[in-house]
A and B are shown apart, each in its own frame.
Chain A
Amino acid sequence: MYQAMTSLGYAAESGYKGRIRLEGDPKGASVLVLGAGLAGLAAALELRQAGYKVTVLEFNNRAGGRNWSLRGGDSYTELGGATQKCEFDAGLYLNPGPWRIPYHHNGLLDYCRRLGVTLEPFQQLNHNAYLHSAKAFGGQPRRIREIKTDFQGHTSELLAKVVQKGQLDELVTKEDREVLLESLRWWGVLDRNYAYKAGLITSEFRGYERDPGGGLGAEPVAGEVIGLSDILQSRLWRGLSSFAAYEFQTTMFQPVGGMGRIGEAFTREVGDLITYNARVTRIAQGEKSVTVTYQDTTAPGATHQVSADWCVCTIPLSILSQIDVQVGDPMLAAIAAVPYASSVKIGLQFKRRFWEEDEQIFGGISYTDLPIRQISYPSNDFNTTGKGVLLGCYTWNGANSYELTSMSPQQRIERALDCGMQIHPQYRREFETGISVAWHRSPFTLGCAGDWTEDARRQHYDNLCQIDGRIVLAGEHASYIPAWQEGAILSALDAIGRLHKRVVQG
């Protein structure tokens, strides 16, 4: 079976086994799905198609959960009461949650195909974006291509010297030593003496002081290379690994129009099943059914109950751990075992795309040791004269993430501008409007994503994923790909597959 799917193109890097087949008659069984994020939406869609009676309860007044884009006209109220109105121009958006899709997240990509969500490339690596440290090169950013080429060149030269001195003779055979030297020349762009030097040859990789042109006076000029010690001490090499990781390798994707297009597409399919503004307060189960108590947040005071034969609960553990859930102690312990990560994202709209016009940066990410950590340039509408929205901050845990969360939305934007100015002096002149989402202040998640430790996983992960009576959990927190949408999808498909088996087997 697996081989057949592999040959059909479902070589399942993420564990996706192709479109789920829920064969067998559920005989009118009903399922209550809690949460209309991607896990809940996928579960609802598949279970209804398999013949179940499906009801979905959602806390927000929209579906999608963390699959979400903030666009002009939207407003967002965070915990603490601050409301931000998004004033972006038409077509511009911030993805506060997930914002990129690896090519090997086959489950999510398959739903995009099935639901007609158009994708475009997401630029993760742009050699012309920056690596920046406030403490190196006088605070001036360096192009990624310069750091990458020079770092590779210097380390190749060092290794070549060691080989030539015979210091690797015990580790590498004579035949391999010759090839190793040859490969270092290629990899490090070394000259015939195995030296890494400024010149037009290295410029073909690291870029020029003056690019080759046409006509008179068009001769290229090579730039100086950056010294090894300067690169090492700058720590800018740390930024290079951000592009090398499997989950960030080419090709990455984003939906045209914002990540929220996926949740919107699901909602077109199953929106009629969803009750919005439902705050779940109790999940009880008996021999024959599950009963969920919830409040309508638009009409506080009154409580409602809804019952079903089975329950797929995708409520984040940050919230589920506070709800009275009638499951066994092992699952209760698992629900209480996962801290939620801190993360802050800030979207900034500028009058013009100065990163493209002035600095030839088309998409990609600049990394910095400033509190904003990164600046991501839009991967769409390249080379147009309109406005643009930058991701002006993306923190993940660490003190700065808590500190930015503690600020008012206005203070966050001010700090993001202060930091960004150090990389792009155009910031203050071109800035128009911004919006921030600090995930620990998100009313519907109380955090960004499940932050499993290896210990907690060993102790609790299987207990979290087991079916407990008539209740099964799903979501990114019930996956080995936390904080990625693929984790939510795969966990939902696995959960409903096991649930369905139990139902049809009686």
Chain B
Amino acid sequence: MRLVVFLTAASLPIAGAVAAEPILSPGFRFSEQTGEALYSNACQACHMGNGEGATGAGQYPALARNPKLETAAYPTYVVLKGQKAMPAAGRLMTDEQVAAVVNYVRTHFGNDYGPPTTAEQVKQAR
């Protein structure tokens, strides 16, 4: 059997660097519950394994060390409503899931922001 050859540009981190196991949800909505699992199976598609974002003809903004995450309201809004080309991925998540993933990105990838948001606050923003 011949195998597909996978090369990786040496200067770039490999996609899938986040440790959480890849998941395929049984339905149309995300079944992942923890912030880590949601990040690595949803957000990582564009924002990449270490929150570093990516650049092609346009960019996916880095979430790593991103001061825009200082208040929870902003990432909550973006996840719920989408922004420019970013789809409103939060429509495929419960309020609890949105809170979990928002809290995750605000406390990982070099971010250390509090206090955590709650499902109730997400519900208000939805």
Q: Spell out A's residues near B (CB within 8 Å).
A: 59, 77-85, 87, 279-280, 315-319, 321-323, 336, 338-342, 371, 397-400, 402-411, 413, 415, 431-435, 438, 440-447, 451
- A269 to B95 CA separation, bound complex (whole angstroms): 53
Question: Would B4 and A398 count as touching, CB distance under 8 A?
Answer: no
Residues in B with CB closer than 8 Å to A397 are: 87
Question: Would A402 and B2 count as touching, CB distance under 8 A?
Answer: no
Question: Would A451 and B23 count as touching, CB distance under 8 A?
Answer: no
Q: Spell out B's residues near A (CB within 8 Å).
A: 1-9, 11-16, 22-25, 27-31, 40-46, 48-49, 54-60, 82, 84-89, 92
- 11 A-B residue contacts at CB 8 Å? A79-B54, A80-B14, A80-B15, A85-B5, A318-B85, A321-B58, A399-B30, A399-B31, A399-B41, A406-B42, A440-B45
CB distance from B28 to the nearest CB of A (A): 4
Across the interface, name the chain A residue whose C-beta is closest to B89: A402
Residues in A with CB closer than 8 Å to B15 are: 78, 80-82, 406-408, 441
**Cβ-Cβ contact count across A and B, 8 Å cutoff:** 163
Residues in B with CB closer than 8 Å to A82 are: 6-8, 14-15
- A165 to B22 CA separation, bound complex (whole angstroms): 55
Residues in B with CB closer than 8 Å to A406 are: 15-16, 22, 40-45
- A336 to B58 CA separation, bound complex (whole angstroms): 13
- A315 to B85 CA separation, bound complex (whole angstroms): 13
Query: Lowest 8 CB-CB distances: which A-B pairs, in order?
Result: A443-B56, A81-B12, A318-B85, A319-B58, A405-B45, A80-B15, A79-B54, A81-B9
Question: Would B6 and A83 count as touching, CB distance under 8 A?
Answer: yes
Question: Would A400 and B25 count as touching, CB distance under 8 A?
Answer: yes
Residues in B with CB closer than 8 Å to A319 are: 56-58, 85
Question: Would B4 and A340 count as touching, CB distance under 8 A?
Answer: no
CB distance from B21 to the nearest CB of A (A): 10
- A316 to B29 CA separation, bound complex (whole angstroms): 27
- A319 to B86 CA separation, bound complex (whole angstroms): 11
Across the interface, name the chain A residue whose C-beta is closest to B61: A322
- A279 to B57 CA separation, bound complex (whole angstroms): 6
Question: Would B5 and A87 count as touching, CB distance under 8 A?
Answer: yes
Question: Would A83 and B8 count as touching, CB distance under 8 A?
Answer: yes
Interface hub of B25, B57, B59 (most chain A Cβ within 10 A): B57
- A343 to B57 CA separation, bound complex (whole angstroms): 18
Which residue of B2, B4, B11, B22 is within 8 Å of A435 (Cβ)?
B4
Question: Would A80 and B12 count as touching, CB distance under 8 A?
Answer: yes
- A80 to B28 CA separation, bound complex (whole angstroms): 25
Residues in A with CB closer than 8 Å to B45 are: 342, 402-403, 405-406, 438, 440-441
Question: Would B5 and A321 count as touching, CB distance under 8 A?
Answer: no
